[in-house]
Copies of this chain bind each other. A is one copy, B any other.
Amino acid sequence: MNDSRCAPIGVFDSGIGGLSILRALRDRLPDERFIYLGDTARLPYGTRGDDTIIRYSHECARFLIRHGAKMIVGACNTASSIAGDFLAANLPVPFVGTVEPSVSCVLRAAVSRSLWILGTEGTVRSGSYQKRLRSHLPSSCRIEALACPLFVPLAEEGLTDGAVCDAVMDLYLAPVRASAPEAVLLACTHYPLLAQAISSYLGPTTIVLDGSIAVAEAVKESLSLINEQANGANHNDNRRGSLTCLVTDGAPRVNRLAERFLGESQLQVSVVSIDNEEQ
């Protein structure tokens, strides 16, 4: 029992976008140990073929399990959409992706009339969100999905307002705004950094739903089943937990981006190889 409590929660993403989910996790589970793996040497997953996405995701998860992870969080919408079912069925520890928690988030918001799902090309193409939401939402509810490929470089370059941001919002979201939807779901870990810009563009009648908090809540729930995680966990900043942050390629920009996404300064990011240590 004690071992299980001490074992870390493994969180992976194709890059540093998943740190927005880790941020929500650290906030809700301050006493947990986390090990984060950003597969920066092979990002982005969003433009890759399905077989490649499944292979890469499985390699990341196995790496984290070899490093003691008691649970795997797929903090990458592309990986969760395309490899989520495979990982849930094949890993020896519980897997939490982004899809089911985001679906729950939409249902809790009682969306009934119209919803747009915004994500990468891979996430939209997979149809994972559309299929799962279709089976839960009223049949009269209109569900649309839209890829916004420039949102990722915009978030990474910190262009979250200003002329370029405004022009990109208009490029992708003009048809969304024209349809006056009840809600949009941000189905990419990079998009929360643009939540304010998206909300401003769409106006106050459209709810902007960010799945990262839903993922953190789902992890907390799943965790309580495997190690009786204290129900009254501290929600303050007296963190007794820890964070190990690993990436597969350490270009100079990774540290800068990691601090922007995680919201923690002085972050120590180490470079590891996940290729060469398979049994």
Number of this chain's copies in the assembly equals 2
With CB as the reference atom, state the residue of chain B lying closest to A156. B149
With CB as the reference atom, state the residue of chain B lying closest to A247. B49
Decide if A150 touches B153 in the complex (CB within 8 Å). Answer: yes
- A residues 133-161 near B (Cβ < 8 Å) are 149-150, 152-154, 156-157, 159
Decide if B41 touches A41 in the complex (CB within 8 Å). Answer: no
Q: Does A267 contact B (CB under 8 A)?
A: no
From the candidates B122, B125, B153, B253, name the one contacting A153 in the complex (CB within 8 A): B153
Q: Could you tell me the distance in whole angstroms from the C-beta of A112 to the nearest C-beta in chain B? A: 33
Q: Does A168 contact B (CB under 8 A)?
A: yes
Decide if A121 touches B253 in the complex (CB within 8 Å). Answer: yes
Decide if B167 touches A251 in the complex (CB within 8 Å). Answer: no
- A residues 18-67 near B (Cβ < 8 Å) are 40-42, 47-49, 52
Q: Could you tell me the distance in whole angstroms from the C-beta of A201 to the nearest C-beta in chain B? A: 14
Indicate the member of A52, A164, A249 with the most B CB atoms within 10 Å: A164
Contacts of A252 in B (CB 8 A): 125
Decide if B153 touches A163 in the complex (CB within 8 Å). Answer: no
Q: Could you tell me the distance in whole angstroms from the C-beta of A168 to the nearest C-beta in chain B? A: 6
Contacts of A42 in B (CB 8 A): 41-42
Decide if B47 touches A253 in the complex (CB within 8 Å). Answer: yes
Q: B-contacting residues of A (Cβ < 8 Å)? A: 40-42, 47-49, 52, 121-122, 125, 149-150, 152-154, 156-157, 159, 162-164, 166-168, 170-171, 249-253, 271
Jot down 16 A-B pairs with beta carbons below 8 A, ordered by A.
Answer: A40-B47, A47-B251, A48-B249, A49-B250, A49-B251, A49-B271, A52-B249, A121-B251, A121-B253, A122-B251, A149-B156, A150-B150, A150-B153, A150-B159, A164-B167, A164-B168
- List 9 A-B pairs, minimum CB-CB distance, nearest first: A167-B167, A164-B167, A163-B167, A153-B153, A49-B251, A48-B249, A47-B251, A52-B249, A164-B171
Q: Could you list 9 further interchain pairs (A-B, Cβ under 8 angstroms) beyond the known A48-B251, A49-B250, A125-B252?
A: A41-B42, A47-B251, A52-B249, A121-B253, A149-B157, A150-B150, A150-B154, A163-B171, A164-B168
